[in-house]
C-alpha cells in the first residue's frame, strides 16, 4: 500500500527583494523525498534566488524554511550542507589546478591531509559507480569538459552527504546525450530516497524527467502540478502568460536570397588544430563566409565546435592550413590582431572567456579597451564616459541589471549574454563567431540575441553561427556546414537541404559538397 510521505522540505511564503526588484514574492514550495521536482520559468523569474535562499547564500526578507519537520535558519552554505542541502550552481566552482579527488575532498570537512590519495580516489569511484557518474578522480579539473565538471560537482554534493540536491539549469551546458545521462543519474538519486530539485526553462525536458513541476513567473508561483498532468499548453501559459512569440516568417524569407550577400570575406582552407589534450580536434576544415552571410555550423556539441570558434578568434593555434579575412593571412596572428582586424567571438562559456563575473557591468563594458582614449586620459579613468556607455548599452539592448556597479555574475544568463553582444557589436566587427549563443537562455532572451545577429548580418557582418538546434540553424542561416569528429561533412544552402540530410551528416556520413 502506498504510504503518503511527508515533505522533506517546505519553503513557506518566501519573499526576497533586491533594491526595487522583487525576485521572490510569497513563494511556497514543498519537496518530497524520492522525487525530482522541476522549477520551471523564464530568465529572471526568480528560480536561482529561491534556491540561493534555501542554500543560505541570501537571507529572505520574509517567510520560513521547514526541513525535516523543523523550522530552520540557514545563514550560510555551510549551514545548508550541514543539514544535507547542497547545490550545483550554474557556474561551477571547481578549482582547475586541482584534481577531481582534491576538489571533492576540499570542502568535505574531512581531514584530507590524513587521507591517502588512493583512499580518496577509491571513495569517489564507489560513489560514482553507485549513481553511474563517470568521473576520473585523478584527472585535473582543467582537463575536463563541462559535462565532466558537472559530474564532479554532483559527486562533491553526494560526498558531503546531501539529501536534497539542487541543480541550477544543469542541462544548459550539456549536449542532448549528456543531458539524458545526467537525468538518469538524478533518477537514481531520487530512487535512493533523495530529493532532487532541478531548475530548468525547457518544457520538454521537465515533462520527460520530473515528477512534479512548479512554475515561477515574476517571482511568484504561477502553477504547480504532477508531471503527468503537465501539457505544453498549460506550461506555456504558466511560463510566458499571454505573450506571443515574435513572428519570424518575413525575415526567414530573406534568408537564402543570395543577392543580399556581399563578397567572400572570410576564408578557411584546410585548417587543422588540436584540443586541450593535444589530440586532433579540427581536421582539414575548409569554408568561406560572405559579407552579410550567416554560416551555420551544425553538429553534436564536442565535435570540434569549440576549437573551431577559438581558431577563428585567434585563441587556439592552427597546426595546418590558412585563415584569411579580406585576404589578410591570420593563421599565425595574435588574438589582439584578430580583434583589430574585426573578428569578435561570442564564446560558449560566456562567464569564462567572455565576461568576468566578479567585475561590474561598467568594468565589463570597458574590459578590452580600458586604455582607449575614451575611457582613459593621462592615466585617469573617465568614469563618466564609462557609465554613459554602459547605461546606453543597457537601454538599447534592454539589459536588466541590479546596478551598473554590481558584479555581472549576479545578472541572469540572458542579460549577461546581451551585455556581451552589446560590447562585441559596439566594436563594429566584420566577422562574428557565435558559439551556442542562446544556450541556457529563455525564449524571450534567445529571440533578442537572434535579433541582434540578424541585424548585424543585415549590416554586412559575416557570421559563423554554431548551434545544436537544427530548427534554429535552418531559420537563421544562409548556408549550413556540418561538423563531425573534427571534419566538415558537407556544406549546404539552407533552402536546398532538409533535416534528414543534415542529420545524416551529423552522424558522420560524408556528402558531396555542392
Ligand X SMILES: Nc1ncnc2c1ncn2[C@@H]1O[C@H](COP(=O)(O)OP(=O)(O)O)[C@@H](O)[C@H]1O
Residues that bind Mg ion (CB under 5 A): 48
Non-local (6+) Cβ contacts of 390 within 8 A are: 361, 362, 365, 404
**CA dist., res. 271 & res. 337, Å (int):** 19
Which is nearer to ligand X, 56 or 137 (by Cβ)? 56
We find the least distance from the C-beta atom of residue 289 to Mg ion, in angstroms, to be 34
Q: Single out the residue of 10, 12, 15, 18 in contact with ligand X (rule: CB under 6 A).
A: 18
CA atoms within 13 A on the CB side of 232: 3
We find the least distance from the C-beta atom of residue 252 to ligand X, in angstroms, to be 29
Does residue number 418 form part of the binding site for ligand X (CB under 6 A)? Answer: no
With CB under 5 to 8 Å by kind, the binding choice for 400 among Mg ion, ligand X, none is ligand X
Which is nearer to ligand X, 387 or 400 (by Cβ)? 400
With CB under 5 to 8 Å by kind, the binding choice for 267 among ligand X, Mg ion, none is none
Number of residues that bind ligand X (CB under 6 A): 16
Q: Which of these, 366, 368, 320, lies nearest to 343 by C-alpha position?
A: 368
Name the segment binding ligand X (CB under 6 A); options: 36-44, 70-78, 259-267, 491-499: 36-44
CA angle 420, 439, 251 (to 5 degrees): 80
We find the least distance from the C-beta atom of residue 365 to ligand X, in angstroms, to be 17
Does residue number 77 form part of the binding site for ligand X (CB under 6 A)? Answer: no
Name the segment binding ligand X (CB under 6 A); options: 16-24, 222-230, 254-262, 454-462: 16-24
Q: Single out the residue of 9, 31, 36, 45 in contact with ligand X (rule: CB under 6 A).
A: 45
- Cell representation of residue 18: 533586491
- Cell representation of residue 300: 553534436
Does residue number 48 form part of the binding site for ligand X (CB under 6 A)? Answer: yes
With CB under 5 to 8 Å by kind, the binding choice for 45 among Mg ion, ligand X, none is ligand X
With CB under 5 to 8 Å by kind, the binding choice for 46 among Mg ion, ligand X, none is ligand X
**CA dist., res. 199 & res. 131, Å (int):** 20
Q: Which of residues 311-330 bind ligand X (CB under 6 A)?
A: none
**Cα dihedral across residues 125, 128, 134, 140: positive or negative:** negative
Helix, strand, coil percentages, rounded to 5, for the chain: 40, 25, 35
Strands (E) in 245-375, as ranges, are 264-274, 280-290, 294-298, 320-325, 328-329, 343-346
Which is nearer to ligand X, 62 or 495 (by Cβ)? 62
The DSSP secondary structure of 42-103, one letter per residue, reads: -TTSSHHHHHHHHTTSS--SEEEEEETTEEE---SHHHHHHHTEEEE-SS----TTSBHHHH
Fill in the DSSP letter of residue 243.
P
Which is nearer to ligand X, 77 or 460 (by Cβ)? 77
* Cβ density class 85-115: b for 16+ within 10 Å, e for less: bbbbbbebebeeeebbbbbbbeebeeeeeee
With CB under 5 to 8 Å by kind, the binding choice for 209 among Mg ion, ligand X, none is none
Helix (H, G, I), strand (E, B) or coil at 264: strand
Q: Single out the residue of 8, 11, 14, 23 in contact with ligand X (rule: CB under 6 A).
A: 23
We find the least distance from the C-beta atom of residue 81 to ligand X, in angstroms, to be 21
With CB under 5 to 8 Å by kind, the binding choice for 23 among ligand X, Mg ion, none is ligand X
Which is nearer to Mg ion, 48 or 171 (by Cβ)? 48
Which is nearer to Mg ion, 24 or 48 (by Cβ)? 48
**CA dist., res. 406 & res. 9, Å (int):** 32
We find the least distance from the C-beta atom of residue 472 to Mg ion, in angstroms, to be 22
Name the segment binding ligand X (CB under 6 A); options: 17-25, 63-71, 204-212, 497-505: 17-25
With CB under 5 to 8 Å by kind, the binding choice for 347 among ligand X, Mg ion, none is none
Non-local (6+) Cβ contacts of 281 within 8 A are: 273, 274, 275, 304, 306, 307, 486
The total number of residues written for the chain in this structure: 514
Q: Single out the residue of 41, 137, 304, 490 in contact with ligand X (rule: CB under 6 A).
A: 41
Does residue number 188 form part of the binding site for ligand X (CB under 6 A)? Answer: no
Non-local (6+) Cβ contacts of 282 within 8 A are: 271, 272, 273, 304, 307, 308, 311, 486
Which is nearer to ligand X, 239 or 282 (by Cβ)? 239
Helix (H, G, I), strand (E, B) or coil at 276: coil
Name the segment binding ligand X (CB under 6 A); options: 41-49, 252-260, 273-281, 426-434: 41-49
Binding mask 387-416 for ligand X (x = CB under 6 A): -------------x-x-------xxx----
Q: Single out the residue of 46, 84, 321, 440 in contact with ligand X (rule: CB under 6 A).
A: 46
Asked if residues 354 and 346 have their Cβ atoms less than 8 Å apart, the reply is yes
Q: Which residue is nearest to ligand X (CB)?
A: 402
Does residue number 21 form part of the binding site for ligand X (CB under 6 A)? Answer: yes
Helix (H, G, I), strand (E, B) or coil at 268: strand
Does residue number 44 form part of the binding site for ligand X (CB under 6 A)? Answer: yes
We find the least distance from the C-beta atom of residue 245 to ligand X, in angstroms, to be 19
With CB under 5 to 8 Å by kind, the binding choice for 440 among ligand X, Mg ion, none is none
Partnered with residue 99 across adjacent β-strands are: 140
Rounded alpha-carbon distances, angstroms, from residue 241 to 6, 133, 224, 236, 244? 32, 38, 15, 7, 8
**CA dist., res. 479 & res. 491, Å (int):** 7
We find the least distance from the C-beta atom of residue 28 to ligand X, in angstroms, to be 16
With CB under 5 to 8 Å by kind, the binding choice for 402 among ligand X, Mg ion, none is ligand X
Does residue number 49 form part of the binding site for ligand X (CB under 6 A)? Answer: yes
**CA dist., res. 152 & res. 101, Å (int):** 9
Binding site for ligand X (CB under 6 A): 18, 21, 23, 41, 43-49, 400, 402, 410-412
Amino acid at each position: 500500500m502506498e504510504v503518503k510521505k511527508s515533505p522533506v522540505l517546505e519553503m513557506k511564503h518566501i519573499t526576497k527583494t533586491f533594491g526595487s526588484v522583487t525576485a521572490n514574492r510569497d513563494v511556497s514550495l514543498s519537496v518530497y523525498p524520492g522525487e525530482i521536482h522541476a522549477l520551471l520559468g523564464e530568465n529572471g523569474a526568480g528560480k536561482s534566488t529561491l534556491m540561493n535562499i534555501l542554500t543560505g547564500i541570501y537571507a529572505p526578507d520574509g517567510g520560513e524554511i521547514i526541513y525535516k519537520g523543523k523550522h530552520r535558519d540557514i545563514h550560510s552554505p555551510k549551514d545548508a550542507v550541514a543539514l544535507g542541502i547542497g547545490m550545483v550552481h550554474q557556474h561551477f566552482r571547481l578549482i582547475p589546478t586541482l584534481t577531481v579527488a582534491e576538489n571533492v575532498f576540499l570542502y568535505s570537512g574531512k581531514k584530507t591531509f590524513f587521507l591517502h590519495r588512493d583512499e580518496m580516489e577509491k571513495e569517489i569511484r564507489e560513489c560514482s559507480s553507485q549513481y553511474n557518474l563517470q568521473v576520473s578522480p585523478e584527472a585535473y579539473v582543467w582537463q575536463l569538459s563541462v559535462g565532466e565538471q558537472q559530474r564532479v560537482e554532483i559527486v562533491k554534493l553526494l560526498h558531503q552527504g546531501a539529501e536534497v540536491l539542487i541543480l541550477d539549469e544543469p542541462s544548459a551546458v550539456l549536449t542532448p546525450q549528456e543531458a539524458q545521462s545526467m537525468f538518469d543519474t538524478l533518477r537514481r538519486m531520487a530512487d535512493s530516497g533523495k530529493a532532487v530539485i532541478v531548475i530548468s526553462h525547457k518544457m520538454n525536458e521537465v515533462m520527460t524527467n520530473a515528477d512534479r513541476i512548479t512554475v515561477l513567473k515574476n517571482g511568484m508561483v504561477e502553477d504547480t502540478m504532477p508531471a503527468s498532468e503537465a501539457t505544453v499548453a498549460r506550461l506555456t501559459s504558466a511560463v510566458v502568460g499571454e505573450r506571443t512569440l515574435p513572428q519570424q516568417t518575413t525575415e526567414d524569407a530573406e534568408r537564402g536570397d543570395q543577392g543580399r550577400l556581399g563578397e567572400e570575406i572570410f576564408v578557411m582552407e584546410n585548417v587543422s588544430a588540436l584540443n586541450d589534450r593535444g589530440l586532433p580536434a579540427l581536421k582539414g576544415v575548409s569554408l568561406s563566409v560572405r559579407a552579410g552571410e550567416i554560416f551555420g555550423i551544425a553538429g553534436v556539441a564536442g565535435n570540434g565546435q569549440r576549437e573551431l570558434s577559438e581558431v577563428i578568434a585567434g585563441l587556439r593555434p592552427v597546426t595546418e592550413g590558412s585563415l584569411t579575412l579580406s585576404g589578410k593571412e591570420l593563421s599565425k596572428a595574435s588574438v589582439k590582431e584578430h580583434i583589430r582586424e574585426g573578428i569578435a567571438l561570442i564564446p560558449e562559456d560566456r562567464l569564462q572567456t567572455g565576461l568576468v563575473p566578479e567585475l561590474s557591468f561598467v568594468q565589463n563594458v570597458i574590459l578590452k579597451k580600458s586604455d582607449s582614449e575614451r575611457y582613459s586620459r593621462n592615466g585617469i579613468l573617465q568614469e563618466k564616459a564609462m557609465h554613459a556607455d554602459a547605461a546606453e548599452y543597457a537601454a538599447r539592448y534592454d539589459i536588466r541589471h541590479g546596478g551598473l556597479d554590481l558584479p555581472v555574475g549576479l545578472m541572469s544568463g540572458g542579460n549577461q549574454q546581451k551585455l556581451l553582444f552589446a560590447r562585441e557589436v559596439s566594436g563594429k566587427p566584420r566577422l562574428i563567431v557565435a558559439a551556442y549563443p542562446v544556450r541556457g537562455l529563455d525564449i524571450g532572451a534567445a529571440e533578442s540575441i537572434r535579433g541582434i545577429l540578424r541585424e548585424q548580418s543585415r549590416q554586412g557582418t559575416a557570421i559563423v553561427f554554431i548551434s545544436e538546434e537544427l530548427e534554429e540553424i535552418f531559420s537563421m542561416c544562409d548556408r549550413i556546414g556540418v561538423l563531425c569528429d573534427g571534419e566538415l561533412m558537407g556544406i549546404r544552402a539552407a533552402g536546398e537541404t532538409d533535416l534528414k540530410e543534415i542529420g545524416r551528416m551529423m552522424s558522420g556520413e560524408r556528402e558531396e559538397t555542392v
